[in-house]
Amino acid sequence: MTPSSGSSGNGLPLRVSFIIPAMNEASLITAAIDSIRRQKQSADIRVAEVIVVDAGSTDGTAELARAAGCRVVTAPPGNVAVSRNRGAMAAEGNVLAFVDADCELPTSWLTAVCGQLRRSDVAAAGMQMAPPAPVASWVERTWYELVHRTAEAGSVVDAEWLATFNLAVRSDAFRSVNGFDEHLITCEDVDLSYRLRQRGRLRFVCESGVVHHGESRTVSEFFRRESWRARGGWMLLRHHHRSFRELLSTILPFVAVGGLLSIPPALLWAGPAALAGALPLAAIVVRRRPAARYLAPAVVLQAVYCAARCCGLLYPSRRVERRSPCCRPDAVQRTASSSIMWVTGQDSKTD
């Protein structure tokens, strides 16, 4: 039986605890908090609190969060899974909303995403990423086409996994699977999603879009970021070795790179060698159906992705630092002077 509108699976109103992991995010944290402040609330879906989990910032991030009316808890640096778990432990709401510090939510996020948790058979929900700005680099635009653009605009679909740059999850479901795996440095969101699917459906909202400032702008940045994620992907396969998706995701980069590297020393059979390397790339690109003008750059970027994932297992890169939102002229940039009063039952005002 589906619960009544605006209530959780146990019939209680949805009280949402927003959790923002942060380390040296002074240039971004205020915009993220302000986007939460502007959420449209209802009598049965409310913002209960905003928790910023500071992992040893030295740039005043924690001070900015306190000035904005947020609760600040601390966590050791170096593992975002630990930070998110610390925030979840401190949270009082029956819905946990994980939002990265480099994101800005549309005003409809609270009702559109958290509203999916009105159904007792739904464990978690998230929203698609907003399209990149017109001034975005070809890397940003192409990766959006390959990974983030959805063909089901305006719909809500079931998902195999949900990214944690914006994720709403029932607190009881989160705790029943013991939260994020703190042994994972990356890919902790995929691992959590696989375990949450044992508790209920994962729903993906294909509307509006979350502005994400953390996407790679250059090929070098993209390579380093995917190289950094490679070991997390390998550990994920060890945890979920029965997942065909994870097996394919791990093997394909090696097949593609191995095939392409074999072309120069084997010119006499360059045709088969080229197919060995190019077919996996082409299959991935075609499967994701990018617009025609992105086909060539998509193949190039997918090749870089495969190379990075291979190299990352041998020589992993360090985490790529986030950049300031100033490169997104369409982003809403706020100052630390804006204060937020998080009072239970108080209506939020939209700009």
| CATH code of 29's domain | 3.90.550.10
* Same structural domain, 300 and 206: no
135 and 100 in a common domain: yes
Question: For residues 164 and 3, is the Cβ–Cβ distance under 8 A?
Answer: no
**Mean pLDDT estimate for the chain:** 79
Are both 179 and 285 inside the same structural domain?
no
| Whether residue 54 is found in the same domain as residue 108 | yes
Kindly report the number of other CB atoms within 10 A of residue 112's CB atom.
19
Q: Domain end: 212, 230, 254, which one? A: 212
Which of the pair, 285 or 217, is modelled with greater confidence? 217
344 falls within a domain = no
Within a domain: 321: no
Domain end among 190, 212, 234: 212
Q: Comparing 5-14, 114-123, 235-244, 292-301, which segment has the lowest mean pLDDT?
A: 235-244
Q: What is the pLDDT of residue 238?
A: 67
Nearest CA among 128, 102, 117, 106 for reference residue 17: 117
Does the pLDDT at position 4 exceed 90?
Answer: no
Distance between CA atoms of residues 13 and 129, nearest Å: 27
Q: Are residues 148 and 285 in the same domain?
A: no
What pLDDT sits at residue 271? 47
Report the DSSP beta bridge partners of residue 187.
none
Indicate if the pLDDT at residue 269 is higher than 70: no
User: Among positive and negative, which fits the CA dihedral 339, 341, 342, 348?
Assistant: negative
- Overall pTM surpassing 0.85 (yes/no): no
Q: What are phi and psi of 282, to 5 degrees?
A: -65, -40
List the domain range (segments joined by +) for residue 259.
Answer: 219-314
Per-residue model confidence (pLDDT) at position 1: 32
Is 203 within 8 Å of 125 (Cβ atoms)? yes
pLDDT of residue 196: 97
Residue 206, CB half-sphere, CA atoms under 13 Å: how many?
12
**38 and 131 assigned to the same domain:** yes
What is the Cα–Cα distance from 186 to 102, expressed in whole angstroms?
17
User: Would you state the structure tokens that stand for residue 108, as one six-digit string?
Assistant: 């409809």
